[in-house]
Amino acid sequence: MCGIAGHFGFPVAPARAAACLAELARRGPDGEGRITWDARGERAEVGVNGLLHTRLAIRDVRDVAAQPMTTPRGDVWIAYNGEVFGFERDVQALARGEAFRTTSDTEFVLRGYEAFGIDGVLPKLRGMFAFGIVDWRRRKVVLARDRIGVKSAVWFHDGTRFAFASTVRALLALLPGADRRLSAEGIDAFLAHRYVPSPRTCFAGIRRLRPGERLEFDLDSGDLSRTTWWKPQPSSTPFAGVADEALAQQTIADRPVGIFLSGGVDSTAVACSLARQGFDRLVTLTAAFPGSPLDESEAAGTLARSLGLPHVAIDIPATIGDVFDRMIEDLDEPFADPAVIPLWRLAREAARHVTVVLGGDGGDELFAGYKRYRAHARTRWRRGFRLPLPAPSALPERGLARALDEISMSWGDAYSLRFSGFARGERRALQPDVPAAPAYWSLRDDLPHADALDAMIAIDFANYLPDYALRKADLCGMAHGLEHRVPLLDHAVVESVFAMPRDARFTTPRKRALAALCPQLPGAGHDPFRAPKRGFNPPLGRWLRGDLAPRLAGLGARLAAATGGQVAAAPAQALVDGYRAGDARREERVLQLLILAESLDAIAAFGNALPPCA
């Protein structure tokens, strides 16, 4: 894993480039590089075009595999973030013309592009990635993201200038202050969903590349084109075989590898498959919550020992004040999932043991493991029916707000209400001058699926999975130089699952299909396939009434200032004051408002501290 950035059509002062690299350094602590060119493509000390890279060395850790990397002729360059698996079979054919200098997947992507072009190389890439390629032969820049959206990239384009980076903050370091305008829509989207769904960000001029999407920027005309290069095609390949293959491939690294193991089905299936295939040196790492009834560390440890895998339980403190400011920075934009806090701590401690970790992410989306699917499916009868209602004049009561929202939204839009966040009526009261949209997800009402479960899974694959679950895992891992791999979301696995008969894929109890990876679950005293699904409920009240309590004073005024008046101080402070007076039902929304204020303040401070552009 690495950090990437690039700028085209405008110069970036060395001090600004250094600030960008410093922002990416946690993603890539093992090295950094920068290359700049003039408008003709000639190397220049301070050019109008440039690539930047920070490296987390996983495959071929030698300096020869550093980036930005170029072809033998020096006319095509790449800044690459991610991992591609199983490429070795194609290297021999590519190397016939000229031997590879490295054993890295970076060189394979670069040489594959040189040989086949972007349309030819992308289908050959099995893995997770975001990369920028500068092709001086064709005078174009290509930015591409992997199929599922495991890795992320954001971009800026104004008709003549183009820039991209792994994170919003790194991209801000490259842009003048005039390009750092907040997006009213992005802020409202955060209030609705607890994160900003792609392609939006919280900045008006910065967009997030969608999964399976690529951009091409013409270095001469300044034109930008967008293409969706992948859509899933169901495959008849048997699930168990392709999943075992993906899991085995994703253990390959030149650095230590481990497994995030909970007591749940998905990570159990990952650990069982790898142990059965003989990968018995992979350390398993589990978050432990001492004293909590939701602590699964004992069950996970018993399972690991029965599989013959080394095990480490990592205690997660219940405090937050000592790490809150650092986490706000590492989350890049406003992001208000309370579960991110223990995951961030787990990743920090895991990085002391391994550099790569495999997780069970994706099992719930593939096999309908979330309880919300069944809850929302029961309302499918109304489909597009809605009852338009006027905006409230004051902040409505929580239950009423959600009920009014549901009947005024289409069935697809109303699926967003199955998550915590502010209902539309609440958002209208908080932002009197903003026309709050029902939701900001894609694939809501134009779904081709008649079946409710298919529709909700399609919504999740387009929105919740890449922008919430996978972004959270990436940000928490890369904050500590830890590569988080997700083998159940290998695209060949996904396409195999999509071809399964419905009675094999959607089972009772849930996710029985994953038992195929555990044909003989060891006698660990815990059968995750029959245990009820458990989640982690962070101690929000303890945080907000303890470590974070001083930050709630004057929060309404801080929000108004941070959002340029978009969020009104009075209703925001009224919500906070009601919580402080004892209404515990408000705690998630109070935390969300606090994170919005802290995140925007941190971004503003970062922007104000940047050196001059010239």
pLDDT given for residue 536 in this prediction: 60
Q: Burial letters for 386-417: b for 16+ Cβ neighbours within 10 Å, e otherwise?
A: beeeeebeebbebeebbebbbebbbbbbbbbb
pLDDT tens for residues 503-540? 999 998 899 999 999 987 765 566 777 766 666 667 89
Higher pLDDT, 426 or 131: 131
Mark whether 22 and 154 lie in a shared domain: yes
pLDDT band, very low/low/confident/very high, at 446 (cuts 50, 70, 90): low
Last residue of a domain, one of 204, 228, 252: 228
pLDDT given for residue 391 in this prediction: 57
pLDDT tens for residues 158-197? 999 999 999 999 999 999 999 999 999 999 999 999 999 9
Mark whether 74 and 10 lie in a shared domain: yes
Block residue for tokens 């903003």: 434
Amino acid at 281: R
pLDDT tens for residues 397-413? 667 777 778 888 888 88
Looking at residues 386-391, what average pLDDT do you find? Answer: 68
The boundaries of the domain holding residue 427 are: 371-460
Last residue of a domain, one of 196, 228, 260: 228
**CB–CB of 456/415 below 8 Å?**
yes
Q: Which of 314, 339, 355 is nearest to 480 (CA)?
A: 355
Residues 6 or more apart whose Cβ sits within 8 Å of residue 29: 54, 56, 481
pLDDT given for residue 93 in this prediction: 79
pLDDT band, very low/low/confident/very high, at 485 (cuts 50, 70, 90): very high
> How many domains is the chain built from?
4
Residue 234 lies in a domain: no
Mark whether 331 and 394 lie in a shared domain: no
Mark whether 125 and 7 lie in a shared domain: yes
**Residue ranges of the alpha helices (H) in 434-533?**
452-462, 464, 471-478, 491-498, 502-505
pLDDT at 388 over 80: no
pLDDT given for residue 549 in this prediction: 96
pLDDT tens for residues 60-104? 999 999 999 999 899 999 999 999 999 988 887 787 768 899 999
Looking at residues 468-485, what average pLDDT do you find? Answer: 97
Domain containing residue 325: CATH number: 3.40.50.620
Residue 534 lies in a domain: no
> In the numeric block, which tokens belong to residue 61?
């850790």
Mark whether 110 and 219 lie in a shared domain: yes
Mark whether 273 and 411 lie in a shared domain: no
**CB–CB of 257/249 below 8 Å?**
no
pLDDT band, very low/low/confident/very high, at 450 (cuts 50, 70, 90): low
Q: Which of 52, 24, 22 is nearest to 36 (CA)?
A: 52
pLDDT given for residue 64 in this prediction: 96
Higher pLDDT, 271 or 89: 271
Last residue of a domain, one of 181, 206, 228: 228
pLDDT at 119 over 80: yes
Residue 535 lies in a domain: no
pLDDT given for residue 301 in this prediction: 92
Amino acid at 209: L
Residues 6 or more apart whose Cβ sits within 8 Å of residue 26: 330, 478, 479, 480, 481
pLDDT band, very low/low/confident/very high, at 395 (cuts 50, 70, 90): low
